[in-house]
A and B are shown apart, each in its own frame.
Chain A
Amino acid sequence: MTKILSDKKAIFIFMFPTLFVMALIVVIPIFISGYYSLLSWDGIGKGTFIGLSNYKELMSDMRFMNSIIHSLLFAGLSLVVQLPFSLLIAIIIAQGVKGEKFYRTVYFIPVIISTVVIGQLWQKIYNADYGLLNDILQSIGLGFIAQDWLGQEKTALMCCFIPILWQYVGYHMLIMYAGIKGISTEINEAAVIDGASKHQIAWYITIPLLKPILKVCMTFSLIGALKVFDLIYVLTNGGPFFSTEVPSIYMYTTIFDSFKYGYGSAISIFIIIECLFFTMLLNSLFRKGKEA
């Protein structure tokens, strides 16, 4: 058996294509990105090595700082609005309401639809003249709030966040729902015998036992917010006047519109580091919570 399982040739055949593709497409490019970020380069000819200058420039680049603030604001909103709401829905439908399966299935639909479709759809919803939102506002007598939602700096950013929050509520709900269903029913039954109310069960039993799942959701929603690209690219591409720009959009335009390859790569390295940093931060916060 051991002899068969340590067949070198078979291992090579099974592993080589995977490792080759992963190295070529995932691992090596990161190092190349790191190298590019030290260059001043327009993509044509050879770049000049300028050390950490790109990073220094980034730190005093107001447009970049604003894009980070936007993505952090978005991350905060996901954590404070989206996740509690998902948790509430998950707890309610996991208690076994009528139509449990129906709700679960329906809430999940937006998750699987392409962001391009979602983005185009919401652009139409927000349309100033013929959009669904203004139309509904008018019909319920709130016509005075109707406005060009994506066209003005003060409303555009919030209007970019809403579709993303809307799209992924069902996702987090489903993960939490699966987690709640995984909690043994005996614990709940024991609590019921002891006279615990539904709220008490949710607060003192379900949520504490759900901690590992909540950690997964928080990490997902935080990292997702820091990396967000598709929806904003489709909705506003960062405009008007950079008011909805996030780091990934700024990176994209820096590279493919302004042809500043080195500077753009520095932004992409920043995004990786930012994601790793927050993942680790969450991990250590949760570990501390465990000790306490």
Chain B
Amino acid sequence: MREKLGKVSIQMCLILFAIVQLYPLIWLIFFSLKGNSEIFGGNIAGLPEKWKFENYVSAFKQAKVLDYFGNSVFVTAITILLVIILSATSAYAIERMEWKGRQVAMKVILLGMMVPIHAALLPLFMVLKNMRLLNTYWALIIPYVAFGLPMGIYIVSSFLASLPRELEEAAAIDGCGIYRIFGEIMLPLVKPALATVAIFTYLSAWNELMFAVTFVSKREFKTITVGIMSMIGTYTTKWGEIGAGLVIATIPTILIYILLSEQVQKSLVAGAVKG
């Protein structure tokens, strides 16, 4: 009896905490579907009485959320692609190939994980300005790739370290060159690690704010995070539209999480336990 009571109270606490973690997000969906009259009329916390899907239409059309969204998709996709390719090649070279300075290279790359991006902000701003890259997609893609690589290389090379060397040796005896060994044998094997890197990179690029707000001021290139920030300025009082924008910005992340929740959790833990 006593044990049962304890179990029930633990469940209650866990559910309560789940509500604390989830309700703000559900509330966001609620107010994205409400009109101002409803919110200011007193229905703040509850379900919308009249579901105003128009808020989404106007966020798309007037606030150009779709453009920002497209920019984010483009920047994030190219960033992921580059990080995956470069992490795979570099991790392979560092973990498997034999050359002087590979240990030093790894140390420098790991050090890159510890550097706060704040430190590079102003110098990068000046470099990008001088190269006339401010207000282009590259102003974001290049820094995102550079700051995503250390983690990517770390994850792929620790995965590589757990793979046996026999396959490569057999392939070498069969007369495969280094590029075929890498491309046809190793690359398929490290796919799980690359998936981890892709998820990790997606989250940091899609959600990044500091670079995005500093390096891009032209509307055409703004990513969704910054786009929404500028939306606040013009739509201060329209809660519904802002809410709709916030929901739209979150949809891809939630979709990925629903499809791959275990994988996403694993990726972020793998990213953390780097020692």
Determine if chain A interacts with chain B: yes
Instruction: List A residues at the B interface (Cβ < 8 Å).
Output: 1-2, 4-8, 10-11, 13-15, 17-19, 21-22, 24-30, 32-33, 36, 89, 92-93, 97-99, 103-117, 120-122, 124-125, 129-132, 135-136, 139, 166, 169-171, 174-175, 178-179, 213, 216-217, 220, 223, 227, 229-230, 233-234, 248, 251-252, 255-256, 261, 264-265, 268-269, 271-272, 275-276, 279
- Residue B143 lies at the interface, judged by CB distance under 8 Å to chain A: yes
Q: Interface stretch among B50-58, B172-180, B187-195?
A: B172-180
User: Once the chains are docked, how many angstroms separate the CA of A60 from the CA of B147?
Assistant: 33
Would you give the shortest CB distance from A143 to chain B, in whole angstroms? Answer: 13
A179 surroundings in chain B (CB, below 8 A): 273
Supply 11 further A-B pairs (C-beta < 8 A) apart from A116-B229, A132-B24, A178-B269: A4-B181, A21-B145, A26-B147, A29-B123, A33-B122, A36-B122, A105-B265, A109-B254, A269-B119, A271-B116, A275-B114
Would you give the shortest CB distance from A149 to chain B, in whole angstroms? Answer: 14
Instruction: List B residues at the A interface (Cβ < 8 Å).
Output: 7, 10-11, 14, 17-18, 20-22, 24-25, 27-28, 31, 39-40, 44-45, 86, 89-90, 92-94, 96-99, 105, 108-109, 112, 114-116, 118-124, 126-127, 142-143, 145-147, 149-150, 153, 168-169, 172, 177-179, 181-182, 203, 206-207, 209-210, 213-214, 225, 228-229, 232, 239, 242-243, 246, 249-250, 253-254, 257, 261, 264-265, 268-269, 272-275
Q: 10 smallest A-B Cβ distances: which pairs?
A: A25-B146, A29-B123, A32-B123, A29-B120, A14-B93, A114-B207, A14-B89, A135-B44, A18-B90, A116-B225
Would you give the shortest CB distance from B181 to chain A, in whole angstroms? Answer: 7
Would you give the shortest CB distance from A225 to chain B, in whole angstroms? Answer: 12
Cβ–Cβ contact B265 & A120, under 8 A: no
Cβ–Cβ contact A116 & B181, under 8 A: no
B149 touches which of A7, A21, A117, A120 (Cβ 8 Å): A21
Would you give the shortest CB distance from A150 to chain B, in whole angstroms? Answer: 14
A112 touches which of B17, B121, B203, B213 (Cβ 8 Å): B203
User: Once the chains are docked, how many angstroms separate the CA of A179 from the CA of B269?
Assistant: 10
Majority secondary structure, A binding face: helix
User: Once the chains are docked, how many angstroms separate the CA of A46 from the CA of B7?
Assistant: 69
User: Once the chains are docked, how many angstroms separate the CA of A171 from the CA of B25?
Assistant: 17
Instruction: Identify the closest chain A residue to B98 (Cβ).
Output: A6
B209 touches which of A112, A116, A130 (Cβ 8 Å): A116
Instruction: Identify the closest chain B residue to A122 (Cβ).
Output: B24
Majority secondary structure, B binding face: helix
Would you give the shortest CB distance from A47 to chain B, in whole angstroms? Answer: 11
Would you give the shortest CB distance from B69 to chain A, in whole angstroms? Answer: 12
B109 surroundings in chain A (CB, below 8 A): 18, 22
User: Once the chains are docked, how many angstroms separate the CA of A21 from the CA of B87?
Assistant: 12
B264 touches which of A22, A98, A112, A265 (Cβ 8 Å): A112
A261 surroundings in chain B (CB, below 8 A): 122
13 examples of A-B residue contacts, CB within 8 angstroms: A4-B172, A18-B109, A18-B149, A21-B146, A22-B112, A26-B112, A89-B17, A92-B14, A108-B261, A108-B265, A109-B21, A175-B269, A220-B272
Cβ–Cβ contact B207 & A170, under 8 A: no
